[in-house]
């Protein structure tokens, strides 16, 4: 979805498929409340009995009006550019997401970003604390290799674009 698609009281699905209702629209973000099955009392307001959540540009782009739209968008968006992940890789990702270091990491939004380094495309899937510094655990798309990158270096890398995916795929 796009920021302009939202209006107050619009119901939509988050990237995880959970239902939300838009409560406010900012310059580049929206706020929304999760919709719970059962009593409407949770969603009456403002003020609301549930915590409003902020959706930034990345989160907004991953939203959909319904499940069918979400599936179509995922198929269209990939356009064959982005490879999927094998089961073993997802298992590694999930183990890292439940590690004590990941749970303690203060800058989790950084881990949503896919970055480019030397023409390779890296997906952050976890973190490791090294003394007072953090290391980002990455998976290199197309090469299917795991790599550790210092947080500062990962932060300085540009965010991946479709052109980066095309260029990397052309090297195969």
The enclosing domain of 150 has a CATH number of 2.30.30
Same domain, 57 and 92: no
Residue 25 pLDDT: 97
Same domain, 68 and 33: yes
Confidence band of 12 (pLDDT split at 50, 70, 90): very high
- Rounded mean pLDDT of 83-97? 82
Rounded distance between C-alpha atoms, residue 114 and residue 60, angstroms: 16
Q: Which two tokens stand for residue 104?
A: 């303690």
Same domain, 47 and 100: no
Confidence band of 67 (pLDDT split at 50, 70, 90): confident
86 vs 95, higher pLDDT:
95
Residue 56 pLDDT: 94
How does pLDDT run across 117-134, given as a tens digit for each residue?
999 999 999 999 999 999
Confidence band of 79 (pLDDT split at 50, 70, 90): low
Residue 172 pLDDT: 73
Same domain, 66 and 92: no
Q: Are 62 and 17 in contact (CB under 8 A)?
A: no
**pTM of this prediction?**
0.62
For residue 21, what are the domain limits? 3-78
Confidence band of 76 (pLDDT split at 50, 70, 90): low
152 vs 82, higher pLDDT:
152
Averaged pLDDT score across all residues of the chain: 88
Same domain, 57 and 10: yes
Examine the fold and report which residue of 43, 78, 113 is the final residue of a domain before the chain moves on: 78
Its sign, for the CA torsion 149, 152, 153, 157, is positive
Please state the domain count of the chain.
2
Examine the fold and report which residue of 45, 78, 111 is the final residue of a domain before the chain moves on: 78
Which residues partner with 20 through β-bridges?
12, 34
Residue 85 pLDDT: 72
């Amino acid at each position: 979805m796009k920021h302009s698609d939202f209006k107050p009281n619009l119901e939509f699905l988050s990237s995880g498929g959970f239902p939300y209702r838009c409560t406010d629209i900012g310059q580049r973000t929206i706020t929304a409340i999760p919709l719970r099955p059962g009593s409407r009392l949770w969603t009456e307001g403002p003020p609301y009995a549930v915590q409003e959540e902020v959706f930034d540009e990345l989160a907004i782009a991953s939203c959909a009006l319904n499940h069918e739209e979400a599936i179509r968008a995922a198929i269209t968006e990939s356009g064959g550019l982005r490879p999927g992940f094998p089961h073993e890789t997802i298992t590694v990702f999930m183990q890292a997401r439940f590690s004590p270091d990941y749970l303690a990491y203060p800058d989790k939004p950084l881990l949503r970003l896919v970055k480019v380094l030397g023409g390779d495309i890296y997906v952050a899937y976890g973190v490791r604390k090294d003394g007072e510094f953090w290391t980002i655990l990455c998976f290199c798309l197309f090469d299917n290799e795991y790599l550790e990158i210092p947080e500062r270096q990962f932060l300085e890398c540009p965010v991946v674009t479709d052109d980066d995916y095309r260029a990397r795929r052309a090297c195969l």
